[in-house]
Amino acid sequence: MRPTVHDIAERAGVSLATVDRVLNDRPGVRGVTRAKVEAAIVELGYVRDVAAANLAKSRVYPLVFILPEGDNPFMRGLEDEVRRAGAHSLVERTQLSVVTVPAFDGRALAREIDSAIERAVAGIAAVAVDAPEVLAAIGRAREAGIPFVTLVSDLANSGRDHFIGVDNIAAGRTAGSLMGRFLGQRPGPVAVLAGSMRVRDHGERLEGFLAAMSAMPVSRAILPVLEGQDDPELSFQLIAECLAEVRDLAGIYSLGAGNRGLVRALAAGTGRNLCVIAHEVTDETRAALEGGLVDAVLNQDAGHEVRSAIRVLRAKADGLPVIAAQERIRLEIFIKDNLPSEPGMDDTPGPAGN
Amino acid sequence: MRPTVHDIAERAGVSLATVDRVLNDRPGVRGVTRAKVEAAIVELGYVRDVAAANLAKSRVYPLVFILPEGDNPFMRGLEDEVRRAGAHSLVERTQLSVVTVPAFDGRALAREIDSAIERAVAGIAAVAVDAPEVLAAIGRAREAGIPFVTLVSDLANSGRDHFIGVDNIAAGRTAGSLMGRFLGQRPGPVAVLAGSMRVRDHGERLEGFLAAMSAMPVSRAILPVLEGQDDPELSFQLIAECLAEVRDLAGIYSLGAGNRGLVRALAAGTGRNLCVIAHEVTDETRAALEGGLVDAVLNQDAGHEVRSAIRVLRAKADGLPVIAAQERIRLEIFIKDNLPSEPGMDDTPGPAGN
DNA sequence: CTGTTAGCGCATTCAC
DNA sequence: GTGAATGCGCTAACAG
């Protein structure tokens, strides 16, 4: 049997309360006493039973996810995953909530962060916007001792505890590499559709894409980036225009969330046989992949990201270490043949273990 | 606050013990009483606190992984992952052990399964071999009420509780699709290196590969399958021979674990510019991918598989449902650009949350 | 500064 | 058939 607090209390010749004090390093213990207890802990190889601890604390963990509002399908998918995780969360003493803020609005995000701090939540996960207000708000969360993770888009210098998302430069490189191979010797320029270059992850993807394309044996022109603001209508117009003007277009890389407009334009421009690579599996991209309109979709698993965020926030809240290998979000490549079946319908209701 | 056993005892006008009896449906409760309690459970929306239950039971879960022995790097990787999970497992009241048996030996596997049943373990995970003895042994595990999951290679009609691994037909299709696209118009036949066609997953991968290749616009000859028994030396010879004889060879699909021999032969046959697709990220395939000897590697994440097996076995042991979406093992596609950094060095030691 | 005591939610002997 | 009492490993009042 594993050693318990009783064993270490006995071994150190102190009471349970004292053991508990040094375990949770709370004040009110003399240095000598503390040392004795710590020695006993090491000698017995004690590891705290987190389940029992949480039971005793009967602590609940209110966690808040702050996501951009609007009809960005990936973000709505993230939101769905949070709610789905919420269904299982009672068992894990975790209380999930979602709030949405206008996209790309640093001030609004900062306000929401402060509000969460006010409510004394146990952890915050947010899609970061690159703005000074946000940086400051994250700093305040840190000061309040509230764990903070960035989701999907990072803010590395903010002091956040963890970033949960993919390496976007590598994602861009992967897209470029696939595009180059799929096109082979075929001539013609490539277009890039982005949301906005003011968003960090979009910029990084472009950077990686350009690097990989220029490393290809066949050199190929990349047209000036089209910024569709992740808006379906604007994206549609930009792509439709491009298709009309550039008759020998060979491929399109859609690195943002403007896929609905992209797909509409592709469907209209019949028989062009382009190589198209997009990001995030959504209803639109899934259908386009299955229909042959899109050749590959790069994806980050929203469900994994949400569960990872929860695990990391809870670990930080409990002062536990994080299993890095488990929390690394992979960049998934999907083609028609390895597309997983529709999500959502495959979940089992009821309480669950983990 | 969530309702507890006390609440439902009070509501039903019975004692804790009685509530417990119906919760764990044990005998010794009158029909009427049982009905009252069950009504209260439903009305209050009671869900059992598994953590507290396990604490009270002070139950530990001895789980056993039965893996093929030998120098198959993927299997050794799986074993490493089990040990790694074992380091965190104390916290989760789980006791992991690994036993190895000769590869492809149904009788040896069956014997080991029986031994595990004998020891009354709480769950068994095994790489299935397609043999009647194994089928029978899995049946005995079921009768003994011991949860059983198949790992990597399934045995669907065995009555196992769950399969943890990828869809191998889809894996083969994906390989075929990528091979076709990467080759494009380039002429020449394609070779297939397998371990043994008597293994189910290898057969399924071949099936998918052939289907995808034949669906390609450019028709292409597939050479007779080379069976390397997953043996480095034999695989090397087969591939070296093939390279020597088939001067216009366009590609190789390695669907088994003979990659060490494959890579050696590729390295020797300089400047042949083949399209090579292999399975499982190991030291060899990683290096080959980085060095340009291999174009793509299809992978199943061993760490995820092990953790999934543990979660599923525990859930089954506790009679809890499984979160299907979380337990589905994805088929990962790796090219040079999205290869994750070396695993193993990125783990944090010490106790962990999950 | 340190120790005693009473739970957290559940399972399990024992009596009745 | 049913209930009361005790303990799992830990935390948190409250005393001393």
DSSP for A94-158, please give it. EEEEEEEE-TT-HHHHHHHHHHHHHTT-SEEEE-----HHHHHHHHHHHHTT--EEEESS--GGG
> Quick one: DSSP state of residue B311?
H
Distance CA(B151)–CA(B306), nearest Å, equals 9
Give the C-alpha distances (Å, rounded to integers) separating A197 from A104, A229, A241, A253, B279: 11, 9, 20, 15, 37
Q: Tell the residue number behind the tokens 């509230």, with chain if given.
A: A146
Q: Give the pLDDT mean for B168-196.
A: 95
pLDDT, tens digit, 9 for 90 and up, residues A33-84: 999 999 999 999 998 988 899 889 887 889 999 999 988 999 999 999 999 8
Q: How many A×B Cβ pairs under 8 Å?
A: 163
In the sheet where B61-68 sits, what is the strand order? Answer: B94-101, B61-68, B123-126, B148-151, B162-164
For chain A, the average pLDDT equals: 90
Q: Give the pLDDT mean for B276-296.
A: 96
For chain B, the average pLDDT equals: 90
Provide the percentage of residues in chain B whose pLDDT is more than 90: 74
Within 7 Å: CB of A29 and strand C?
yes
Tokens describing residue A105? 């609005």
Taking C1' of D14 and every protein CA, the nearest residue is A17
pLDDT at B159 over 90: yes
* Per-residue pLDDT at A91: 55
CB count within 10 Å of CB B314 equals 23
Question: Could B90 and A340 be called an inter-chain contact, meaning their C-beta atoms sit closer than 8 Å?
Answer: no
pLDDT, tens digit, 9 for 90 and up, residues A118-146: 999 999 999 998 899 999 999 999 999 99
Name every residue whose Cβ is closer than 8 Å to that of residue A227 and which is 6 or more positions away in sequence. Answer: A194, A195, A196, A197, A238
Burial class (CB in 10 A: 0-12, 13-18, 19+), B303: buried
* Per-residue pLDDT at A324: 82
Residue A102 distance to chain B (closest CA, Å): 30
pLDDT at B88 over 80: no
Question: Could A325 and B336 be called an inter-chain contact, meaning their C-beta atoms sit closer than 8 Å?
Answer: no
The one-letter amino acid at B107: R
- At A254, is the secondary structure helix, strand, or coil? strand
Name every residue whose Cβ is closer than 8 Å to that of residue B135 and which is 6 or more positions away in sequence. Answer: B155, B157, B158
Instruction: Tell me, rounded to whole angstroms, the distance of Cα A56 from its chain centroid.
Output: 32
* Per-residue pLDDT at B343: 54
Q: Which nucleotide is nearest to A31 (CA to C1')?
A: C1
* Closest alpha carbon within chain B to A59: B1
pLDDT at B353 over 50: no
The more confident residue out of B48 and B277 is: B277
pLDDT, tens digit, 9 for 90 and up, residues A184-218: 999 999 999 999 887 788 999 999 999 999 999 99
What pTM, to 2 d.p., does this model score? Answer: 0.86
B48 contacts B70 by C-beta, under 8 angstroms: no
Chain B positions touching A326 (Cβ under 8 A) are 303, 307, 354
Enclosing H/E stretch for B232? helix B232-245
* Per-residue pLDDT at B91: 55
Q: Give the pLDDT mean for B146-174.
A: 95
* Per-residue pLDDT at A353: 29
* Per-residue pLDDT at A344: 41
φ, ψ for residue A350 (rounded to 5)? 100, 175
Q: Tell the residue number behind the tokens 């207000």, with chain if given.
A: A133
A68 contacts A102 by C-beta, under 8 angstroms: yes
* Per-residue pLDDT at A89: 65
* Per-residue pLDDT at A345: 38
Question: Could A326 and B348 be called an inter-chain contact, meaning their C-beta atoms sit closer than 8 Å?
Answer: no
Protein-contacted bases of chain D (C-beta within 7 A): 1-14
Enclosing H/E stretch for B213? helix B200-214
Q: Does B219 touch chain A (CB under 8 A)?
A: no
Chain A positions touching B350 (Cβ under 8 A) are 320-321
Q: Does B245 touch chain A (CB under 8 A)?
A: no
pLDDT at B133 over 70: yes
Q: Label each residue of B238-257 as H, E or C.
A: HHHHHHHHCCCCCEEEECCC
Residue ranges in chain A assigned as alpha helix (H): 5-12, 16-23, 31-44, 50-57, 73-89, 106-118, 132-143, 168-183, 200-214, 232-245, 259-268, 283-291, 302-317, 324-327
* Per-residue pLDDT at B309: 95
A235 contacts A202 by C-beta, under 8 angstroms: no
Confidence of residue B351 (pLDDT cuts 50, 70, 90): very low
Instruction: Tell me, rounded to whole angstroms, the distance of Cα B200 from its chain centroid.
Output: 14
Chain B positions touching A90 (Cβ under 8 A) are 2, 47
A32 contacts A4 by C-beta, under 8 angstroms: no
CB count within 10 Å of CB A13 equals 11
- The backbone region for A213, taken as left when phi is positive above 0, alpha when psi lies in -120 to 50, beta otherwise, is alpha
* Per-residue pLDDT at A315: 87
pLDDT, tens digit, 9 for 90 and up, residues A331-349: 999 999 999 876 543 333 3
A122 contacts A62 by C-beta, under 8 angstroms: yes
**CB burial readout A147-169, b (16+ within 10 A) else e:** bbbbbbbbbeebebbbbbbbbbb
* Per-residue pLDDT at A15: 93
Q: Give the pLDDT mean for B276-297.
A: 96
pLDDT at A13 over 50: yes
pLDDT, tens digit, 9 for 90 and up, residues A82-128: 998 887 765 577 889 999 999 888 999 999 999 999 999 999 999 99
Enclosing H/E stretch for B149? strand B148-151
pLDDT, tens digit, 9 for 90 and up, residues B18-61: 999 999 888 889 999 999 999 999 999 998 988 899 889 887 88
